[in-house]
Amino acid sequence: MGFGFAGREIGDLYEYTCALRGHDPGDRIGIVVLREGERATLPALAGCR
C-alpha cells in the first residue's frame, strides 16, 4: 500500500475523491504516506470546501 486515506487504500484521484466525500468537516482522518521508503500515518482534520 502506497497511499491511504481514512483506512482505505487509494490508487488514484477518483478513489481519493470518493473517500474524501465520505467525511464531514471536522472529521479526524488518518492519511498514510510513504516517507523515505517507510509508511507514516499523519493526522488530518477535514475542512469544508
pLDDT single digits (tens) 12-29 = 888 888 888 888 999 998
Is 80 exceeded by the pLDDT of residue 49?
no
Domain housing 20:
4-45
Is 70 exceeded by the pLDDT of residue 2?
no
Is 80 exceeded by the pLDDT of residue 45?
yes
What is the pTM for the complete model shown? 0.64
> Total domain count for the chain?
1
Q: So what's the pLDDT on residue 15?
A: 87
Q: Is 29 helix (H, G, I), strand (E, B) or coil?
A: strand
Nearest-angstrom CA–CA distance, 38 and 49: 31
Contact predicate 33/42, CB 8 Å: yes
